[in-house]
Structure 1
Amino acid sequence: MKKEIIIKHLGVVLLLNGVFLFISFLISFFLNESSTVALLFSALICGIFGVFPLIFVERTEHISFNEGLTIVVLGWIITCVVGMLPYLMWGGEFTLTNAWFESVSGFTTTGSTILTEIESLPKGILFWRSSTHWIGGIGVILFVLLILPRSKGQRITIYNTEISSLSKMNFRYNTRKIVHILAVVYISLTLLETIALMVFGMNFFDAINHSFATIATGGFSTKNLSIAEYNNLGIEVIIMVFMILSGNHFGLIYGTIMLKKENLFRSSLARTFVSVLLIGVLLVTLKLYLSGTYDLLTSLRYASFQVISLGTTTGFATVDTIHWPIFTQIILIYFTIQCAMSGSTSGGLKFDRVYIFFKLLGKQIKLLKHPNSVFVSKFDGKRIDEKLEEQTLVFIVLYVAVFFATTIILTAMDIDGMTAFSASIATLGNVGPGFENVSSLGNFASLPDFGKFVLSVNMLLGRLEIFNILALIMIKK
């Protein structure tokens, strides 16, 4: 493994962060805020350590599988480390553990927070906090595809796991074309949502921050009460629309805009994803109304936002769900587990795998009835490869194992069962809020430091995917 290649590409990662840190510094500088020095020093550190490898390390045309995987995993870890620098230098609620947790939560687009007074933060820090979402969301799709080569026709593991085989049919282009498509869609959605939010009364600063968080399916808000602070139906509808779009495959969005065959309306996976969200909205709405929690329209309003928010792994909130009927909480927990589609900015289990699992379950039930028959699972008329079915089952088993292990560790620290359970699944799925002490309008501040560290590892596993971490460990051996 050539260390020079790894160092050079990690320099690109640092420079990317340095650009956004410098923008955050400018905001803080012109507003004469207390975070100016912290952001400037952080930007300089990224700039200096990022530019030197680009200048002094020779460029290479070939990157091996091992080098590519190492670059991606180390790139994410280094990004999270430099991301915590402005938090630490500024101070406030940011202890070492809290700064690390907030940084990892931002870049992995989880959206869990340790902050109890978000609105007291300088605008420069708030912008950086939202930027970590946007960098993380675009980074996992664009940066990885940009730096990993197609060596001798071999598909690289990161590419295969980030963009599932079911979704890959929507990317019938070379790597450069894919990067271009995703960048255009990502930036366009961000700009469109920013404008739409401003039309409905949100100021520019809040609009760009919430757009960063929405399109990245992150969930960080500039307000303590998240979207509930605005109490504006128009803003909620705009955010719901863009959460659904961001939870879908970006290749399908591009195909829809360009009137191509592979588009949102013709994809059975996309239609199923939206249908499941609508069923969830209906079930939660009816339960909230029939239980007398809210009137019908209010039930529909709150149910729609919370189901879509969790089902796309965004994590925004318009109401605290801690006192909702247990049936509605179970439905919301399901959406926390399900996650959004591959090819979107979301992490976690991915809806694709849930889709494959139920297809496989249906096939096994048919085999019980007709043991000598041969059944083939299909997606949009195409056969689902048996190898993909096997990988899906293995991944789900590993995912559940990590979830249970995290829950056990948290309960061993005297954290109550529902908090431990929901915090574990919410961080592993890169969703953000859970229930009880970490509910939709709550935070993770009360958890012990070691618990925060364990959950931050969960976030990285959910974002990078368990297979990639295991592959890196095997490389090192």
Structure 2
Amino acid sequence: MLFIAMFMLLSAGISYLSGMDSAFYPLLLSSLLTALLGAFPLIFVGKREQITNKEGFCIVVGAWLVACVVSMFPYLIWGGEFSLVNAWFESVSGLTTTGSTILNDVEALPRGLQFWRMSSTWIGGMGVVMFALVVLPSMGRSKMMLSNVELSTMAKDNYRYRSQIIVQILLVVYVGLTVLSTVLLKMAGMNWFDALCHAMSACATSGFSTKNASIAYFNSPAIDTILIFAMATAGVHFGLIYATVTGKRSNIFRSEVTCWYFGMLLAGGVLIAVSLFAADIYPTLTASFRYAMFQFVSVVTTTGFATADSNTWTSFAVILLIFGSIVCACAGSTAGGIKVNRLVLAGKMMRTRLRQQQHPNAIIRIRLDGVIQENEALHAVMIFIVTYLMFILAGTVFGTMLGVDLTTSFTGAVASMGNVGPGFGEVGSMDNFSAMPAAFKVSNSLLMLLGRLEIFGLIQIFFIKWWR
């Protein structure tokens, strides 16, 4: 909370430098309130050397929920389009790095509040990395049904993360990628403010933009290319990126998962490009590939930036984009979704099942990145995938009960659960959630939290009294 308060104060400073716009006092007051709330336990709650599993878990989940609440303060105090439900939706969307919005006119926001939106999503991205590198491995297989597949299978040699290494990963990879992207975007034609905001959004795989038309506003192949690089990189396990940069043996080029990930990005982009060119939506194959690649990388990495209205694309392209929105990028990144790791393991499990039917007495072990996967870990993967799809179904059914059309309900649930942002129908890449019923916004914000905290991370809070 103190970290959030610091960024609120920084946003107030941006507001002050912009001529003390209308967001200055809301941001300053929000910073003070959040700092007081954060300082209270720091002062009055005694430190402990050891904390239990329950306490640690409650701290993590509680921190996410409280962060969503305090991040509403600037929106509520400023007013405008931000009702209570809208402020909650925007806050959750930012911190979970979903990037969906209720704003009809983003450009009408004062610069300080625009920077706060980007700060909230950048903070959320950092929280996601911490969650993936620190919390998930400590959750325990039997209690949390999450298994160490999130990390141990991603890197060989049992790459372990100490506190010192985690700080280095955040500084070198997350902050470094943000700085590099900012400089490149400035060189490509953006002003410094837009460059920084879009770099923060891309590295957090959020998709918040300072423009109503998102990246389409700039209409620049150079900007599209830089953002494709930033988004695709942010979708890789951050530990592997760090290992690659520092010359470790367990790097991106030796990872089976990242090979599947980049292969999926390239194949999806090419197939969509051919579909768009064949349907005569774009005049040249080059233009088709530019737009197809950007949109596909954007949804797979759960960033949600847009350079075109994908509602007008072919059915084949839409299906591939929905598939990308469900699978998404790699574990250990800022992306949401089922993750490529689980998809690869699910494919290997199906292949193993077929081989065992042919050779009933054979003992076949499943490996990922050279690491043998235990049956308990494989079981957890399938449970996660089934539960994930069930929540998408529940979100779809609830949306249709509220009178929302099927396409909007389904793709809205997919986009929220995967922290992708845009769906199709009324919540397409060039639209937003402003016209949706309040109950639909609330349900989708809950899906965002479920997807962000890996489903069982959030559900488990309701069953703590049964923990043993």
Aligned partner (choices 25, 29, 34) of residue 16 of structure 2: 29
Aligned partner (choices 423, 428, 438) of residue 417 of structure 2: 428
Aligned counterparts, 1:283-302, within 5 A: 283-294=271-282, 295-302=284-291
Distance 2:212 2:352 in 1: 47
> Residue type matched to 1:452 in 2?
K
TM score, norm. by length of structure 2 = 0.95
CA contact (8 A) 2:328 2:336 kept: yes
Aligned partner (choices 392, 398, 403) of residue 403 of structure 1: 392
* SS of equivalent residue, structure 1 residue 405: helix
Distance 2:397 2:350 in 1: 29
Asked if residue 470 in structure 1 is aligned to residue 459 in structure 2, the reply is yes
Distance 2:386 2:50 in 1: 35
Distance 1:162 1:149 in 2: 9
Residues 367-376 or 198-207, more deviating: 367-376
CA contact (8 A) 2:327 2:339 kept: yes
TM score, norm. by length of structure 1 = 0.93
Distance 2:370 2:40 in 1: 51
CA contact (8 A) 1:63 1:148 kept: no
1:2-27 CA deviation, whole Å, 9 max, x = no partner?
xxxxxxxxxxxx10110000001111
Aligned counterparts, 1:425-464, within 5 A: 425-464=414-453
User: Paired residue for 1:383?
Assistant: 372
* SS of equivalent residue, structure 1 residue 167: coil
CA contact (8 A) 1:367 1:373 kept: yes
* SS of equivalent residue, structure 1 residue 265: helix
* SS of equivalent residue, structure 2 residue 307: coil
1:353-412 CA deviation, whole Å, 9 max, x = no partner?
111111111111111222221211111222122111100001111111111011000001
For residues 156 and 133 of structure 1, do their structure 2 counterparts lie closer, same or farther at Cα, with a shift above 3 Å needed?
farther
> Residue type matched to 2:178 in 1?
T
5+ residue gaps, structure 1, are 1-13
Q: Report the alpha carbon displacement of residue 158 of structure 1 after superposing the two structures with TM.
A: 10
> Residue type matched to 1:83 in 2?
S
Aligned partner (choices 324, 336, 350) of residue 339 of structure 2: 350
CA contact (8 A) 1:353 1:392 kept: yes
Aligned partner (choices 84, 108, 124) of residue 136 of structure 1: 124
* SS of equivalent residue, structure 2 residue 403: coil
For residues 158 and 206 of structure 1, do their structure 2 counterparts lie closer, same or farther at Cα, with a shift above 3 Å needed?
farther
> Residue type matched to 1:59 in 2?
K
Distance 2:138 2:451 in 1: 25
Distance 2:347 2:88 in 1: 37
Distance 1:162 1:369 in 2: 28
Asked if residue 187 in structure 1 is aligned to residue 172 in structure 2, the reply is no
Extract structure 1 runs of 4+ deviating beyond 4 A: 143-151, 153-162
CA contact (8 A) 2:125 2:205 kept: yes
Q: Report the alpha carbon displacement of residue 155 of structure 1 after superposing the two structures with TM.
A: 11
Asked if residue 207 in structure 1 is aligned to residue 187 in structure 2, the reply is no
Aligned partner (choices 21, 40, 53) of residue 52 of structure 1: 40
Distance 1:444 1:106 in 2: 14
Distance 1:175 1:160 in 2: 21
Distance 2:14 2:146 in 1: 36
For residues 419 and 148 of structure 1, do their structure 2 counterparts lie closer, same or farther at Cα, with a shift above 3 Å needed?
closer
> Residue type matched to 2:324 in 1?
F
> Residue type matched to 2:440 in 1?
G
Q: Report the alpha carbon displacement of residue 56 of structure 1 after superposing the two structures with TM.
A: 2.7
1:417-439 CA deviation, whole Å, 9 max, x = no partner?
10001000000000000001000
1:117-155 CA deviation, whole Å, 9 max, x = no partner?
00000011000001111000001222786689979x999
* SS of equivalent residue, structure 2 residue 299: helix
Q: Report the alpha carbon displacement of residue 267 of structure 1 after superposing the two structures with TM.
A: 0.6
User: Paired residue for 2:113?
Assistant: 125
5+ residue gaps, structure 2, are none
> Residue type matched to 1:337 in 2?
I
> Residue type matched to 1:98 in 2?
N
For residues 144 and 365 of structure 1, do their structure 2 counterparts lie closer, same or farther at Cα, with a shift above 3 Å needed?
closer
For residues 441 and 114 of structure 1, do their structure 2 counterparts lie closer, same or farther at Cα, with a shift above 3 Å needed?
same
Distance 1:342 1:326 in 2: 29
CA contact (8 A) 1:138 1:183 kept: no
Q: Report the alpha carbon displacement of residue 191 of structure 1 after superposing the two structures with TM.
A: 0.5
> Residue type matched to 2:199 in 1?
S
Distance 1:298 1:30 in 2: 40
Residues 98-107 or 349-358, more deviating: 349-358
Q: Calculate percent identity across the aligned residue pairs.
A: 44
1:78-104 CA deviation, whole Å, 9 max, x = no partner?
100011111011011111100000000
Aligned partner (choices 39, 43, 60) of residue 72 of structure 1: 60
Aligned partner (choices 11, 15, 20) of residue 2 of structure 2: 15
* SS of equivalent residue, structure 1 residue 279: helix
Aligned counterparts, 1:94-105, within 5 A: 94-105=82-93
For residues 30 and 436 of structure 1, do their structure 2 counterparts lie closer, same or farther at Cα, with a shift above 3 Å needed?
same
CA contact (8 A) 1:146 1:176 kept: no
For residues 154 and 270 of structure 1, do their structure 2 counterparts lie closer, same or farther at Cα, with a shift above 3 Å needed?
closer
User: Paired residue for 1:218?
Assistant: 206
Distance 1:255 1:158 in 2: 28
Distance 2:224 2:101 in 1: 21
Aligned pair count reads: 463
For residues 430 and 150 of structure 1, do their structure 2 counterparts lie closer, same or farther at Cα, with a shift above 3 Å needed?
closer
CA contact (8 A) 1:162 1:343 kept: no
* SS of equivalent residue, structure 2 residue 248: coil
Aligned partner (choices 351, 354, 357) of residue 362 of structure 1: 351
User: Paired residue for 2:186?
Assistant: 198
For residues 381 and 175 of structure 1, do their structure 2 counterparts lie closer, same or farther at Cα, with a shift above 3 Å needed?
same
Aligned partner (choices 296, 299, 313) of residue 307 of structure 1: 296
> Residue type matched to 2:118 in 1?
S
> Residue type matched to 2:8 in 1?
L
User: Paired residue for 1:252?
Assistant: 240
CA contact (8 A) 2:155 2:250 kept: no
Distance 1:138 1:155 in 2: 27
